[in-house]
Structure 1
Amino acid sequence: MGRLEPPRGAVIGLGMMGRHHARILQSNAAMRFAGAVDPGGDRFGAVRDGALLYDSVDALLSGAGGAPDFAVIAVPTEEHVAVAQTLAQAGVHVLIEKPLAATVEEARAIIDAVRAAGVRGAVGHVERCNPALLALRERVQAGQIGEVYMVGTERVGPFPDRVKDVGVVKDLATHDLDLVRWLGDAPIERVAAQTQHRMGRDHEDLVLVTGRLDNGRAFNSMVDWLTPTKVRRTRVLGEGGMLVADTLSADLYFYANAHVPTAGWPDAAARRGVAEGDMTRYALERREPLAVELEAFCALIGGDEDATVVSLEEGLETVTVAEAVLESARSGETVAL
């Protein structure tokens, strides 16, 4: 049986991501707002009803409305495991902002807690809900570019003051490590990485990663907090051309190969290969990715086993790869997963 009314959801942490979750929970008909938790208060004015602002998870759980059906965990990464364990033990489904946890061990502890409690869990890798990337993946899987050769990502821009607990690998590059696996349609097999520390912080602020997926496809990712302009671009190159997604504008482009005639001259054909063909920018329906993500999670806890969420196991895999990237950078060696 389906739900008679939308599920009640809460937000734990009202920072950069949590405040937007709160906004959607208070305005989207697919869900109801159960409250928000932040010991520092509502500094962004995200909660309309002050009575629904709590200073602790325990206060939320014992509030007048009772425990929520689900909660979005948007606290700093090192706090994920403790908050997830508390909520799961209270019977609350959890959507955890990426990365799933600060370490592989903590990610496994979250999975164990969710399984033991019999609740649902997912990871907020919101880029998978970007309309340009959804359309890109659909076209790749439909065979538009034929055999896939490589997946490349670029995610660069100025340093965000919000980040205190991790470096660029676990904060930003986890987006890309998840995307190359999702778009390339196979787990990451091996990585080779270089990092830089240029801002005087303990954590890295630039990473270059190259690697290979289990199906033999290559990938590379460039991520930093040093570039004075913000770029978010993902491309998939194949035998028939290249699809490029700009996830800031949610635009998707296709660059077709154009084979240049050489009048039967095979040596010239070998030298020329392909040349630039037609370029198409697709018209896409654009919905806010965070709303799409929350709706999918509500569908999951409502019984839809096909809901397009990122599983906790996928989140663990991404944390595992992120640690391999850091190990490769430290050791100067290629690391096999």
Structure 2
Amino acid sequence: MAALRAGLLGIGMMGRHHARLLRDIDGMELVAVADPGGDPHRVATGLALVDDVHALIKQRIDVAVVAVPTRFHAEAAMALAEAGVHTLVEKPIADDSISGRQVSETFREKGLVGAVGHVERFNPALQQLRQRLEAGEAGAVYQIATRRQSTFPGRIGDVGVAKDLGTHDVDLTAWVSRSTYQSVSAQTAFKSGRSFEDMIAITGRLANGTVTNHLINWLSPMKERTTVVTGERGTFIADTATADLTFHANGTAALEWESVSTFRGVSEGDVTRFAFPKKEPLRSELEAFRDAVQGKPSELSTMDEAVHTLQVVEASLRSAADGGALVVIEAVGA
């Protein structure tokens, strides 16, 4: 089978990573790069370098990766869909869920593969976590809590922390739990002098009853990427920055300390840190995109799923603007 001719739109920080991997993945050949700012980092050496998505389409590409700022996602994706190009759009799918839904519907109507780069699905720790949850190792899941905190990224100027980082946590939570969101309540803070929020705390409930909590900010001097899943048999902790997964089992040994043994709750049991292969998530995502175009199953975020993720984030921002009021999420497909 001939390699898929790939085009890349945008060679900022994420685009440069996509370019590195697209040059190396079997079954895809990066043939052209588009960026109105040129190629100051020499990403496109040896490739066609053009100005925009329309010029990129003229390079006879089969597939494309869109890695431009969020406000340009929908316009670029629609142009690629009209040209019959299978497309992976970096998250979020669009600047708002209405535009995102239009993009999703267009790709579906044209029979094209449309995916969104929620790359945490391909983090080895979260893939292991999902497999172990499905195997019942935690029993019934009660709560999923995430923390995603770091310094402010100078490259982000068109969205706040909720759409940039919060979409990761919303998507991975829905994916790990195999459930959509039912409702959310949130609070935000604006501490950096920008018009967009730089901190958000979201509490929610999934359609399957699981309680969720997400703490996300650009105000921390350290970087934290943690997912904690608490179930009836114990707690999984996934560190997606290092791709480590640990399980803290509920204790089974009898407690002899009288004041502790009267507490009607769980006790500490064995702690297990799992060993497993750790492949670069972005490489796995791009390989999954290739496979999807070739008609194979994958765990890629579909555009419909990405629209739901954006709806959850938008509902959280509406809640925060209304003093933390509970907001019910629109049903998927409604």
The amino acid of 2:84's aligned partner reads: G
What's the CA shift for 1:181? 1.1
- What is the distance in 2 between the residues matched to 1:181 and 1:62? 37
Task: Find 1:26's aligned residue among 23, 26, 50.
Answer: 23
Task: Find 2:265's aligned residue among 245, 256, 273.
Answer: 273
What's the CA shift for 1:256? 1.1
Task: Find 1:290's aligned residue among 282, 295, 306.
Answer: 282
What's the CA shift for 1:262? 4.6
- What is the distance in 2 between the residues matched to 1:128 and 1:112? 23
Task: Find 2:302's aligned residue among 311, 318, 321.
Answer: 311
Deviates further, 212-221 or 270-279: 270-279
**1:249: which partner in 2?**
242
Conserved in 2, the CA contact under 8 Å of 1:206 and 1:224? yes
Can you give the 5+ residue segments of structure 1 that lack an aligned partner in the other structure? none
SS at match of 1:227: coil
The amino acid of 1:117's aligned partner reads: K
Conserved in 1, the CA contact under 8 Å of 2:129 and 2:245? yes
What's the CA shift for 1:58? 2.1
- What is the distance in 1 between the residues matched to 2:41 and 2:128? 33
The amino acid of 1:335's aligned partner reads: V
What's the CA shift for 1:61? 2.1
Conserved in 2, the CA contact under 8 Å of 1:166 and 1:203? yes
Conserved in 2, the CA contact under 8 Å of 1:260 and 1:272? no
Alignment of 1:187-336 (within 5 A): 187-262=180-255, 269-271=261-263, 273-304=265-296, 306-332=297-323, 333-336=325-328
Conserved in 1, the CA contact under 8 Å of 2:121 and 2:299? no
1:141 aligns with 2:134: yes
What's the CA shift for 1:309? 1.2
**1:52: which partner in 2?**
48
1:43 aligns with 2:40: yes
Conserved in 2, the CA contact under 8 Å of 1:10 and 1:22? no
Do the aligned partners of residues 68 and 262 (structure 1) sit closer, same or farther apart at CA in structure 2, a change above 3 Å counting? Answer: same
**2:97: which partner in 1?**
104
Can you give the 5+ residue segments of structure 2 that lack an aligned partner in the other structure? 330-334
What's the CA shift for 1:119? 1.6
- What is the distance in 2 between the residues matched to 1:317 and 1:44? 35
Do the aligned partners of residues 146 and 116 (structure 1) sit closer, same or farther apart at CA in structure 2, a change above 3 Å counting? Answer: closer
- What is the distance in 2 between the residues matched to 1:270 and 1:322? 42
What's the CA shift for 1:270? 5.0
- What is the distance in 2 between the residues matched to 1:132 and 1:210? 23
Do the aligned partners of residues 116 and 185 (structure 1) sit closer, same or farther apart at CA in structure 2, a change above 3 Å counting? Answer: closer
SS at match of 1:155: strand
SS at match of 2:251: strand
TM-score (norm 2): 0.94
SS at match of 2:98: helix
What's the CA shift for 1:118? 2.7
What's the CA shift for 1:307? 1.8
Task: Find 1:11's aligned residue among 8, 14, 29.
Answer: 8
Let me know the Cα RMSD of the aligned residues. 1.6
Tell me the number of residue pairs that the alignment of Structure 1 and Structure 2 aligns: 328
Conserved in 2, the CA contact under 8 Å of 1:96 and 1:122? yes
**1:62: which partner in 2?**
58
- What is the distance in 1 between the residues matched to 2:88 and 2:48? 19
Alignment of 1:32-181 (within 5 A): 32-49=29-46, 51-63=47-59, 67-181=60-174
SS at match of 1:271: coil
TM-score (norm 1): 0.94
- What is the distance in 1 between the residues matched to 2:121 and 2:193? 32
The amino acid of 2:65's aligned partner reads: V
- State the identity %: 45
- What is the distance in 2 between the residues matched to 1:22 and 1:222? 32
